[in-house]
A and B are shown apart, each in its own frame.
Chain A
Amino acid sequence: MVEPQLHRVTLPNGLRVVLAPNAPGGPPVVGLSVHYDVGFRSEPEGRTGFAHLFEHLMFQGSESLEKLAHFRHVQGSGGIFNGSTHQDYTDYFQVLPSNALERGLFLEADRMRAPKLTEENLRNQVDVVKEEIRLNVLNRPYGGFPWILLPPVLYSTFANAHNGYGDFTDLERATVDDCAAFFDTFYAPGNAVLTLTGDFDVDQATELVHKHFGDVPGRSVTERPSFGEPFPAQQLHDHHPDPHAPLPAVALGYRLPDPVHELDGYLANVVLASVLSDGDSSRLQQRMVHRDSLVVDIQAGCGLMGAPLDARDPDTFTVTAIHTPEAGSERVIGAVDEELDRLASEGPDADELARVTARWSAGLHREHDRLVSRTLDLGSAELIHGRAELISELPGRVDGITTQDVAAAAKALRPDARAVLELEPASETNTAGGTA
């Protein structure tokens, strides 16, 4: 495969721009995204969930665009859009027919320059976000497991431990002035990366970027604080009652090497996670699902938001399992520990490594075949690692991970420096099927 060539521009106001055009002949579609260097780890105490709430507000109108106009202009041009809030960044994207590129840039620039932050829209979006939280957390089994439930066990600082979706009381307390302060602090062009992919001409697109973003006033960018904290000095433990869950579950959380400064060490953990739980031939699936029938489902992975390399340090290695009450969490955890010990002393064999590498490369090809994913991955790699090209180098780097690297990664996942969260069905009135 020919890797699309990357081009870079930085505007005088500090906006970093990554352009990744397709080879000619591809579908007439463009992707564009803006990543702001602020996520829920940066939100102030007493304002849990604010970064995500603010993301909603950014869709609610700007100087040239009434409420609803953003959605209508994107979709009425044949495009799709969304935004999402992560630990360390917030992204906004559009995928459009390529004839709507300039319109898409205009829409992103207008809200970077002058969003309309009003009381009415804030109250409306607090209601919407509360419905989102009911949908994804409060009204379903295993809601927030483990991304909301595990961090307060593993981490001790507010930034790393708190619930990024937010408490209802905090959300209700948010004011328009909070929004103004948040915008001025974190949404400066110098704190953002604009990414363009797909069917466009680089010179033309660069000109359009200057035209629309050039006069967004630059503002000073406060240096991002480190969210680093020491590794736990003992095993940390907690329980969570879940009124909707029919079966118990357990989550283990371990600290990972710094994703930016110890990338290869981090990638060894990515490989380790695949060796542990990716496919029927993986170690935990073979043993815990099929041989010992301890768990209904088990997954190991890097990152709390469902994908590796999505955050800066500190980041989390997780193992999650839904198990029967008969199996018990002790046996489940014991089996994981034994498999980690085995990998720590012997490492995976060469075939296992080759399989992981092949699946990893194929998975990346597949992900980057979708314009949305390619755009967002380029943008977040540029923001977090300063190198959008990392996304095409990853298969090569993963290929370089050795048996010893994986063994070392397994050895570093120590029981005496991890968090254990047990989710327990709170089932005194648990009639999961309703009156059915």
Chain B
Amino acid sequence: MTRATHRSAEEIGRTEFGPRPLPPLDTPRSGQSPETVDTVLANGLRVVAARHGAVPMVEMRLRIPFAGQDTLHPAKAEVLAETLLTGTESRDRVRVDTDLAAVGGELHAVVDPERLSISGESLASGTDTLLDVLADALTGAVYRDDEVAGERDRLVERIAVARSQPRTIAREELQRHRYGDHPFVREVPEAADVARVTAEDVRELHRRSVLPRGATLVLVGDIDPERAVADVARALSGWYSDESARELPELPAVRGGDLRLVHREGAVQSQLRLSSQGLPRTDSRYPALQIANLAFGGYFSSRLVENIREDKGYTYGAHSTFEFTSSGGTIMVDADTASEVTAAALLETRYELGKLVAVPPTDSEVESARQYAIGSLLTSVSSQSGLASMLSALAALGLGQEWLSAHPDRLRAVTREEVVEATRYYAPTAFTGVIVGDADKIGEPLRSLGGVALP
């Protein structure tokens, strides 16, 4: 199928002209900040509305703090999220969907230990319908017995599917290892708990916890922000409580320590998941940490990826990312790697962590990471959905469009000294974590390396 006569690889890789110089960059053009209104309604709901983008759509993100201490809370919350949009006095499940579909819309609810998130979008001309369906669910979801029973049964199955995913297993193990029995670890409920949830439990949880005070709603798209806020205020006027939505209790700081090896039968690849304490977005040192993180493992051109993927071929992807909660931020380092090279990949990861402290990023590493941080932010918020998600994440921290617009300048102002100072968050001793894999294959090499608690 390929050509019988062809040039050799050497001939292909060479031209008469020879290597050419890299073209310089032009003068950067700065973007315009979107026209934004950011206000708190009488019911305590913070609303951020922004006009943005060239397509006739509107994106909606509602986040309600939704923590709970009750052992059954994760199960009840999961069933609530699955049934919130399945019916009110005036709409049944199918009607919710057909009303949304008529305006090219969708709404989805998901819950995690921190919050209930309702996200969706519609044609901008259908904003009223989108908000009407949303308001109807927030103030009038009825949780019919049959809908709750049906979702509950399906959830039990879906939980089994979720828990067969290596990434879910690794996440649960890491959360328990980092935070013990703090409510933050309970992301996927226990199937047995879900099976016990009644429709009345869910109704009661809705009354007690689906609250506007302390929640945030973001609308981004082809909208007039002033009018959009007025539309939200009108649509959600019936959503009221003097109580505030419930925030997650503060998390303890992540402490460095041994990794825990978790056996997974028949695994051909292992999940490496390391974590240390980082900084919240609001910290003045955060931009420097962001640059240090990119240089370490936060983008493709990082030390970790260049080492364990592009040099050694141990992994398809290695990452270093931040996880933010309302009270802080942690650093998460992950890679999935074949059983045969798991110990070697851990060794190299530890080496790169230590090296970041001992041999901090050079000027050119800092510059590259800085440009990437600025440029990739520009790209990610250039779409309506990207800006909506970013504003929603920021709103949960009490931040808004001003913070976003000023962030490129914050990144530009970071000095190399500040980056060097931030590298101390990458000290190997600051990390703990888990490795999920076939302990029969990876246990001995990991034992020899040390710093890993075997099952």
A residues within 8 Å of B by Cβ?
Answer: 1-2, 22-23, 25-29, 42-44, 62-64, 67-68, 71-73, 75-81, 95-103, 106, 110, 113-118, 123-132, 134-135, 138-141, 176-186, 199, 215, 222, 243-247, 279-281, 286, 289-290, 293, 296-297, 322, 324, 351, 354-356, 358-359, 361-363, 365-366, 368-371, 429-436
Query: Are the C-beta atoms of A72 and B368 separated by less than 8 Å?
Result: yes
Chain B, Cβ-Cβ closest to A351: B98
| A-B CB proximity, top 5 nearest | A78-B375, A362-B104, A127-B313, A355-B101, A76-B368
Chain B, Cβ-Cβ closest to A31: B379
Residue among B29, B101, B122, B263 with most chain A CB within 10 A: B101
Q: How far is the CB of B34 from chain A (nearest CB, A)?
A: 10
Chain B, Cβ-Cβ closest to A429: B265
| Contact pick for B22, options A29, A97, A103, CB 8 Å | A103
Q: How far is the CB of B388 from chain A (nearest CB, A)?
A: 11
Bound Cα distance A361, B124 (Å): 12
Bound Cα distance A106, B26 (Å): 14
Query: Are the C-beta atoms of A76 and B173 separated by less than 8 Å?
Result: no
Known contacts A63-B18, A289-B154; is-contact A362 B378 (Cβ 8 Å): no
B235 within 8 A of A: no
| Contact pick for B9, options A117, A186, A289, CB 8 Å | A117
Bound Cα distance A272, B55 (Å): 26
Q: Which of B293-320 contact A (CB under 8 A)?
A: 299-301, 306, 309-317
Bound Cα distance A432, B436 (Å): 12
B94 within 8 A of A: yes
Chain A, Cβ-Cβ closest to B335: A131
Query: Are the C-beta atoms of A180 and B6 separated by less than 8 Å?
Result: yes
B residues within 8 Å of A by Cβ?
Answer: 1-3, 6-9, 11-15, 17-32, 53-57, 86, 93-94, 96-98, 100-106, 121-123, 150, 153-154, 157-158, 160-161, 163-166, 169, 172-173, 262-269, 299-301, 306, 309-317, 336-338, 367-368, 371-372, 374-376, 378-379, 382-386, 436, 455
Q: How far is the CB of A225 from chain B (nearest CB, A)?
A: 8
Query: Are the C-beta atoms of B313 and A134 separated by less than 8 Å?
Result: no
| Contact pick for B311, options A42, A124, A280, A351, CB 8 Å | A124
Q: Which residues of chain B are near A128, meaning CB under 8 Å? A: 309-310, 313, 315-316
Q: How far is the CB of B181 from chain A (nearest CB, A)?
A: 14
Bound Cα distance A135, B210 (Å): 38
Bound Cα distance A92, B376 (Å): 18
Query: Are the C-beta atoms of B314 and A63 separated by less than 8 Å?
Result: no
Chain B, Cβ-Cβ closest to A1: B56
| Contact pick for B161, options A289, A296, A358, CB 8 Å | A296
Residue among A81, A324, A429 with most chain B CB within 10 A: A324
Q: Which residues of chain A are near B385, meaning CB under 8 Å? A: 366, 369-370
Query: Are the C-beta atoms of B382 and A27 separated by less than 8 Å?
Result: yes
Q: Which residues of chain A are near B309, meaning CB under 8 Å? A: 128
Bound Cα distance A181, B55 (Å): 44
Extra A-B contacts (8), CB below 8 Å, given A115-B13, A135-B317? A26-B54, A75-B301, A75-B372, A79-B376, A124-B313, A125-B313, A290-B150, A355-B101
Q: How far is the CB of B129 from chain A (nearest CB, A)?
A: 11
Query: Are the C-beta atoms of B165 and A140 separated by less than 8 Å?
Result: yes
Q: How far is the CB of A132 from chain B (nearest CB, A)?
A: 4
Query: Are the C-beta atoms of A78 and B372 separated by less than 8 Å?
Result: yes
Query: Are the C-beta atoms of B23 and A432 separated by less than 8 Å?
Result: no
Bound Cα distance A181, B98 (Å): 54
Q: How far is the CB of A342 from chain B (nearest CB, A)?
A: 17
Q: Which residues of chain B are near A135, meaning CB under 8 Å? A: 269, 316-317, 336
